Chain A
């Protein structure tokens, strides 16, 4: 039995740190979604499924990783990141759809250009949906993905 080299030990430690950060990110995102009661509609439940996918990816890497499970984890992480990007779009779209309900724009929203409406919706000028919040899912996915890079089971 040979002792692990210091570099390999460091890589192992950092990989565990990345996975721990991913787990923390998943938990915090779930708490944030719960406090926001983010389950009123089907679309609002999608990030919960994405969290399950991210958790599955995390477990694939953390528990007895193999070549197949690492690749599957990467695929699931990519799927989670894609859902996050769709979430950003859905938040902007929701803000735009309800822009006319804001008292500052109730009389003018429909006459504004589409570009102005999208900009207001995307920049936090109107609407209740936090535009970049879905990227918390992408953060979890990126951490899991980073933990798979140069994984020993993938070989040199």
Chain B
């Protein structure tokens, strides 16, 4: 009885190891500045509307700082003169972050804002926001998306 129990336990442990060590077959984003791939689209699937590139009204009380247009923004090529509004990554509300991201032309702004808020706080002495970049990269974003997000944020007190 005990031998069978031990064998079953060892087998379960082996299965666990195999399952948890499964290879990550996720594709890596293309390195070109092309628009995100839509190759996964099935014939019947609709294409999501790209967020407006015009600046949204800034929420009241937001720690928003106008900044120069970010060359890293996906929409920068379309509207090079548009200003990127920066919000504080540590203190802005999720809605404020989402509004700033949407104004910068980042797709799925609300979902990205949720992730930005989730991984707070960000070190004030890291203007490159390496921590945030590392967290966002896990989601396999398209080229330039993380740069565009970071361009809308600041950690300065």
A81 to B13, CA, bound (A): 14
Q: List 17 A-B contacts (CB under 8 A).
A: A10-B2, A102-B140, A103-B140, A106-B107, A109-B48, A111-B47, A112-B42, A124-B24, A126-B140, A128-B139, A128-B140, A135-B16, A135-B20, A139-B16, A146-B9, A149-B5, A150-B2
Q: Which residues of B sit under 8 angstroms from A130, Cβ to Cβ?
A: 20, 22
Closest residue of chain A to B35 (Cβ to Cβ) is A107
Q: Which residues of A sit under 8 angstroms from B125, Cβ to Cβ?
A: none
Q: Which residues of A sit under 8 angstroms from B42, Cβ to Cβ?
A: 108, 112
Shortest distance between the CB of A152 and any CB in chain B (Å): 12
| A150-B1 in contact (CB<8A) | yes
A25 to B40, CA, bound (A): 39
Give residues in A with beta carbon < 8 Å to B.
10-11, 14-15, 17-18, 21, 25, 40-41, 97-98, 100-112, 124, 126-128, 130, 132-133, 135-136, 139, 142-143, 146, 149-150
| A101-B13 in contact (CB<8A) | no
| B139-A102 in contact (CB<8A) | yes
Q: Which residues of A sit under 8 angstroms from B80, Cβ to Cβ?
A: none
| B8-A146 in contact (CB<8A) | yes
A10 to B5, CA, bound (A): 13
Shortest distance between the CB of B50 and any CB in chain A (Å): 8
Chain B interface extent, by class: 35 or more
| A98-B16 in contact (CB<8A) | no
Segment of B57-65, B82-90, B91-99, B112-120 engaged in the interface with chain A: B112-120
Where chain B touches its partner, the secondary structure class is: loop
Q: Which residues of A sit under 8 angstroms from B139, Cβ to Cβ?
A: 98, 101-102, 127-128
**Is B37 positioned at the interface, with any CB of A under 8 Å from its CB?**
yes
Closest residue of chain A to B20 (Cβ to Cβ) is A133
| A108-B47 in contact (CB<8A) | yes
Q: Which residues of B sit under 8 angstroms from A97, Cβ to Cβ?
A: 111
**Which of B9, B24, B38, B111 makes the CB contact (< 8 A) with A107?**
B38
**Which of A18, A41, A101 makes the CB contact (< 8 A) with B9?**
A18
**Is B29 positioned at the interface, with any CB of A under 8 Å from its CB?**
yes
| B47-A124 in contact (CB<8A) | no
In the A-B complex, the 10 residue pairs with the closest CB atoms: A103-B142, A128-B138, A101-B139, A132-B19, A111-B46, A14-B2, A103-B36, A102-B140, A111-B45, A108-B41
| A106-B5 in contact (CB<8A) | no
Question: By CB atoms of chain A within 10 A, which of B2, B26, B107 has the most?
Answer: B2
**Is B145 positioned at the interface, with any CB of A under 8 Å from its CB?**
yes
A107-B41 in contact given A97-B111, A98-B111 (Cβ < 8 Å): yes
A101-B115 in contact given A106-B108, A106-B142 (Cβ < 8 Å): yes
